[in-house]
Amino acid sequence: MNTPRLRPFAAALGVALLVSALRAQATEAPPAANAAGRSSTLREAIALALARDPQVQGAEYLLQAVQAQERQVRSRWWPRISVNTTNGRGSDIESGTTVERQTQRADLAVRMNLFNGLADRAQLDAIEIEQAAAELELRRTREDAAERVAVTYADALRLDALIFRSNWRLAEVRRLGDNVKRQTQAGKASTADTQLAEASMLDAQVTHDNLLAERRTAQARLDALVGAPMGALVPVASLIPAGVAPVDAAPPVSVEPLWERTREANAAWRAARERARAAVKRLGIVAPGLLPKIDLEVRHRLYERTSPLPNPYEQRGWSVVVSYDMPLGGETFAQRDEGRFRAQAAQAEADRLGLTLRLDLDASVQRVATATNAAPMLRRQADQLAEVVKASEVQYEAGRRSLQQLIELRNSYYSAEFRFSENAMTFATATLRQLAISGALLPALMPALLPAPLPTMGLVEPTPPVR
């Protein structure tokens, strides 16, 4: 994970999650997050989700089914043992005389196919490729599950940061409303100012309640994905591998290095290409239908209790059977055409997936680049508005600014913080998508796939304006 081509987008993931996981969330965590009385990490959430995700379980069962299919084909190379018993009555004619005969016998036979046009070999080659595709499909489902959990986790952290800001805003508008009421009672402000302050307080309260509802929804979604109630969410800075570029590093200029890694490591695309190869291999199963089959059979009579005993009768023997079947209706050629078209369809699906991945990768790189460029400007805008709000409070107390202007400035500051958090979420989703496309998501997020312990990076918390 410390290779140069991975550093830029790993750093972008760090920016996204660091920004959305401000330590301010500890000031007012939603009730759903604090109910468990413990902390929950992203790694823990992903591990729990992978253990119960139905899509992952389905891929595991399909892999086991392919492995069982391989054992079936390999078993055809072994002889087959059969035991036949016969018990009955019949009328035979021997030398012109009718003989009533009661038959009781048991035979042991060992049969083995010596040649079937290499159909088993072709089928085994195809199944081995399909097994590789099933393993890649299992990896894809795990990456999809991890991405769903990571995006939901990041969204919950984003809402935690917004709730902190909203709580500050709510406290400030309440304090301002109380101040305006006192001024109105003292005759220094009009009732219109009181109504304006109350309207601002209602707007802040509704926004705050909506954020709390969204946070509870995000918590419920995360609990459903994980299958257990999660505690207070822990910032995920420690998941960024050591040695990555600084958090303010520029995004990758070219998408080609990421595209090369995607070609090599994307599980879904590799699985589609493997399925196309397996479909081509299965064409070799049809051609042997035009060749003869050779079987060896060894027989041994276990007992003979037929009365009267036929003369002569076979005690033991062996035979080599050569058989040739030719369907006259063109079935073999139709099977060949079907296999060829299925192989072409599988290759077309692999090409379609490759094109989709390229478009998604280009879009995610552009989104990361745009969010990277916007982040410092949005942060600077929010910090500048924080200073303006501080100064405006003093000017309002001195009568040099109106209440309407002060409320608008506070709303502008809150909107800037909201845009900053939304931009951080864009960082997170785009970078997680980029990691998933390039096959680097699980190694970046799960400790079992990383070579060494990860360092903890510090968090920088922008301070809201305080009166």
Q: Is 110 inside any structural domain?
A: no
How many domains does the chain divide into? 1
Q: Is 419 inside any structural domain?
A: yes
Quote the domain boundaries for residue 184.
7-77+118-284+333-449
- Pairing outcome for strands 293-304 and 316-323: antiparallel
pLDDT band at 446 (very low <50, low <70, confident <90, very high): low
Q: Which range has the worst mean pLDDT, 94-98, 144-148, 195-199, 302-306?
A: 94-98
Q: Token digits for 316? A: 């033991």
With 0.75 as the threshold, say if the pTM is over it.
no
Q: Is 306 inside any structural domain?
A: no
pLDDT band at 213 (very low <50, low <70, confident <90, very high): very high
Q: Are 122 and 99 in contact (CB under 8 A)?
A: no
- Who's near 187: CB < 8 A, 6+ residues apart? none
- Top pLDDT among 292 and 381 is at 381
Q: Is the pLDDT of residue 72 over 60?
A: yes
Instruction: Give all strands of the β-sheet with 97-115 in edge-to-edge order.
Output: 80-94, 97-115, 293-304, 316-323
- Top pLDDT among 154 and 463 is at 154
Q: Is 88 inside any structural domain?
A: no
Q: Is the pLDDT of residue 50 over 60?
A: yes
Helix runs in 186-319, H state only: 191-226, 256-265, 267-281, 283-286
Q: Is 211 inside any structural domain?
A: yes
Q: Is the pLDDT of residue 7 over 50?
A: no
Q: Is 382 inside any structural domain?
A: yes
Q: Token digits for 131? A: 């097994």
Q: Which residue has the tokens 């040695």?
A: 243
Amino acid type, 34? N
Q: Is 390 inside any structural domain?
A: yes
pLDDT of 270 = 93
Query: Which residues are bridge partners to 411 per DSSP?
Result: none
Instruction: Kindly state the helix (H) or strand (E) to which residue 88 belongs, with its residue range.
Output: strand 80-94
> Distance (Å, rounded) from C-alpha 460 to C-alpha 392?
26
- The total number of residues written for the chain in this structure: 467
Query: Which residues are bridge partners to 319 per DSSP?
Result: 297
Torsion of CA 402, 189, 389, 17, to 10 degrees: -120
Q: Is 295 helix (H, G, I), strand (E, B) or coil?
A: strand
> CATH code at 271?
1.20.1600.10
Q: Is 346 inside any structural domain?
A: yes
Q: Are 457 and 237 in contact (CB under 8 A)?
A: yes
